[in-house]
Amino acid sequence: MLRAFALSILLFLSALPESAVANERAFKAFIKEIKQEAEKDGIARKHLEALDRLTPDPEVQRLAARQPEYVKPIWAYLTHMVTEERLRLGRRELQTREAFLSGLEEKYGVPRGILIAIWGVETNYGGNKGSFSVLRSLATLGYDGKRADFGRQQLLYALRILQSGDVALADFKGSWAGAMGHTQFIPTTYADYAADGTGDGKKNIWTEPRDALASSAYYLKRMGWQKGLAWGFEVSVPSNFNFAEARIKNTKSPAYWRDKGVTALGRDISDDLGNVSIFAPAGLRGPVFMLTKNFRVLLRYNTAPAYALAVGHLSQRFFGAAPFERDWPQADRPLLPQEIAELQRRLRKSGYDTGDVDGVLGRQTIAAVRDYQKDRGLAADGFATPGLLELLAR
């Protein structure tokens, strides 16, 4: 029987395309390397044997390779994240977990609203934690492709998590990229910052929200969260404001921005804010924000400014804050990659240096857009729209 089984496998492999056979061999070789390295790390045999049952996940491969053809405007993302239902559920969690959240605030200095907002944005309060096998996802990413180094490292750390006993293999689920639990930690972040919120000796971010919330609080504290400091607030800028300075990393003193004519809506721009920056995600026509150190800490959780803004805004709306003072330019939309490439070609033809024609709206292209807008007597905010592309075609 064994001989017949082996023969059937050989016949199956011979029927596969050459690339499929090569991929299968590469995956098996990768698993063998991981097992050898994990065994040296003291990982138990039962966890190593779980690797033998893995195959590459086609859906993970598809998601890892996708190139988004359309970039969602920041206001569309915020509308999706800050909903009446998410507000209702978040307020309920704030009420039912009041004592626990007070303890976290006391211990870590992170406001309860921020923690509940992270939970809401990441997984809709545990409703969408991801159903992918963490081991299979990370093995798929690790054996080939642009994310191979990431996948390999995270897979080794995932095996350590199984070894710790904090989660059973059946519950070891997450996103396609290996983010896990109620507040979506990747394995290396879990290893360094997971916290026991219940006192039971485990750090179960998969099925115990208190552990996940405590872990997020501990992470933010370690990243430098400053107690009592707002993440930021909406401001108004003068019509001649230099939007080249509206960059998150361009931190200046509050006095510097006051001298530039920046004013806050309903509050003072006080010196105790520390160094702050200006963020204008929709240019002059949309809301403009002054950001503190704590916004940059939120970016350590997720590097997307839209994400950090959603968390910050949601955390305020829980407690009755109003929507943004200024409306978003809903009629506008970001350019598609092919439109950005055409924009770059037209700017270069007009004498503006965009760098490469790559379909990416990077810093050099934005600077070229600003220069063009300035020369045409337009608001030089660097915000590229289909209307601007049409203007360049004239």
**345 in the same domain as 211:** no
**202 in the same domain as 342:** no
196 part of a folded domain:
yes
Q: In the block, which residue shows the tokens 């839209």?
A: 306
What was the pLDDT predicted at 361? Answer: 87
Which backbone phi and psi does 241 adopt, to 5 degrees?
Answer: -60, 140
Distance, in Å, from the CA atom of 124 to the CA atom of 118, rounded to the nearest integer, reads 9
205 part of a folded domain:
yes
284 part of a folded domain:
no
What was the pLDDT predicted at 224? Answer: 98
DSSP letter string over 132-160? EEHHHHHHHHHSSSTTHHHHHHHHHHHHH
Choose one of 197, 215, 233: the last residue of a domain.
215
Distance, in Å, from the CA atom of 71 to the CA atom of 194, rounded to the nearest integer, reads 33
291 part of a folded domain:
no
Choose one of 215, 239, 265: the last residue of a domain.
215
Choose one of 215, 233, 266: the last residue of a domain.
215
What was the pLDDT predicted at 2? Answer: 44
**211 in the same domain as 356:** no
76 part of a folded domain:
no
Per-residue pLDDT of the chain (394 residues), as tens digits, is: 445 545 554 454 455 455 677 788 899 999 999 999 999 999 999 999 999 999 999 999 999 987 665 668 899 999 999 999 999 999 999 999 999 999 999 999 999 999 999 999 999 999 999 999 999 999 999 998 889 999 999 999 999 999 999 999 999 999 999 999 999 999 999 999 999 999 999 999 999 999 999 999 999 999 999 999 999 999 999 988 999 999 999 999 999 999 999 999 889 999 999 999 999 999 888 999 999 999 999 999 999 999 999 999 999 999 999 999 999 998 888 888 899 999 999 999 999 999 999 998 888 999 999 999 999 988 889 999 899 999 998 8
What was the pLDDT predicted at 3? Answer: 53
The number of CA neighbours under 13 Å toward the Cβ of 331 is 2
* Residues 177-235 pLDDT 10s: 999 999 999 999 999 999 999 999 999 999 999 999 999 999 999 999 999 999 999 99
Q: Which residues of 163-176 are buried (b: 16+ CB within 10 A; e: fewer)?
A: eeebbeeeebbbbb
346 part of a folded domain:
yes
263 part of a folded domain:
no
**358 in the same domain as 209:** no
The CATH number of the domain holding residue 37 is: 1.10.8.350
Three-class SS state of 263? strand
What was the pLDDT predicted at 72? Answer: 80
156 part of a folded domain:
yes
- ∠ CA 141-146-149, nearest 5°, is 65
Please tell me the total count of domains within the chain. Answer: 2
Distance, in Å, from the CA atom of 266 to the CA atom of 257, rounded to the nearest integer, reads 16
| Residue 139, domain extent | 20-66+129-215
What was the pLDDT predicted at 321? Answer: 94
What was the pLDDT predicted at 13? Answer: 45
Based on the number of CB atoms within 10 Å of its own CB, is 10 exposed (0-12), middle (13-18) or buried (19 or more)? exposed
Instruction: Give the CA dihedral 27, 30, 31, 36, nearest 10 degrees.
Output: 160
Q: Which residues contact 181 (CB under 8 A, 6 or more apart)?
A: 123, 129, 174, 190, 205, 206, 212
pTM of the model: 0.90
Question: How many other C-beta atoms can be found within 10 angstroms of the C-beta atom of residue 119?
Answer: 23
